[in-house]
Amino acid sequence: MLQPRLIYPVRIVEVGPRDGLQNEKQIVPEDVKVSLINRLGRAGLKDIEAGSFVSPKWVPQMAGTAEVLKQIHHSKEIHYPVLVPNMKGLDSLLSLLQSSTSSEPLTDEIAVFTATTDSFARANTNCTVAESIERLAPVVERAISAGLRVRGYVSMVIVCPFEGKVVPARVREVTQKLLEMGCYEVSLGDTVGMGTPKDWEDMLNDVTGSVNVSTLATHDTFGMAVANVMQAVSMGVRTVDSSVAGLGGCPYSPGATGNVATEDVVYALHGSGYETGVDLTALAETGFWISEKIGRENVSRVGRALRAKQVREQSRQKE
């Protein structure tokens, strides 16, 4: 008698509208961002980064986040986290939330970020890792007291372009500090995409020696990303950050390529006995739609394969 196939849920955090678009050279219109978020929601994604409250001087692509939050179609089932780098950013968000007349909260979650190395932290936020954590503590405390969930990001968990190989113990230390601060989850980012499944195994073995794996997420870039994601998931990680069509890349990390494509991650997970709740066909269509809108190549291999199959089928129907 055949045993029923076990299905394991994996949560996808879609970072395309924020981490993906923030590195585009051209300014993406607000209506395009709004449509992208709405399309991703219809494709079944339940966690969609909607933008960030950062200085438009440094990240001009995120200047319209407040308007985007006002215009998107809100669903009670979907979280729309926004990146908040400091207290000024949180002040702006809280003012927006207080002034909103919407029956639904514009967002119920923020994300904060730090790194494992001082060199990258200085390049990204002009301070050391210790200084960054010290600055974030009151931001997290105030956000939680205002009823917001807080998610943490840690960059450079495998290799730093300035300092080289990162010792796993350093990742564990920073992760613990973010969790102790009040973050409900910490996303571990291989920002330059140089890690291998063995690197992730070694790093996660160290981190999970002191941190519950249920509080961790993986955030990987191009290179070996899908293989690394599957390695992390096989070790119990149940949240994966990814970006539709592979949008994105880190402007402060020399050599960083782009984020792992959500389409590729979903395909790999579904084919390996995991469930995401995402409609892969609708997701792939969204990937091509946004790529065409901003004039860039869709780097999702699964997305391109599905598009090629669709074209072939349409061609046969015309014969």
The Cα 141–Cα 119 span in angstroms is 26
- Return the C-alpha torsion angle 201, 207, 210, 216, nearest 10: -100
Contact, 153 vs 116, CB < 8 A?
no
| Catalytic (active site) residue 127 | no
Residues 6+ apart with CB under 8 A from 200: 158, 190, 218, 228, 231, 232, 235
CA 279 to chain centre: 18
Phi-psi region of 49 (alpha: psi -120 to 50; beta: other; left: phi over 0): beta
CA 306 to chain centre: 23
Residue 2's CB: how many other CB atoms inside 10 A?
A: 4
Beta strands in the chain (DSSP E): 8-9, 11-14, 47-48, 51-52, 82-83, 109-115, 149-155, 159-160, 164-165, 185-190, 216-220, 239-242, 274-275
Q: Give me the half-sphere count of Cα atoms (radius 13 Å) on the Cβ side of residue 98.
A: 7
Nearest residue to 121 via CA among 252, 304, 233 = 252
Strands 185-190 and 164-165: unpaired
Catalytic residue among 127, 160, 183, 250: 250
Residues 6+ apart with CB under 8 A from 255: 161, 192, 194
Structure tokens at 139: 């931001």
Catalytic residues: 250
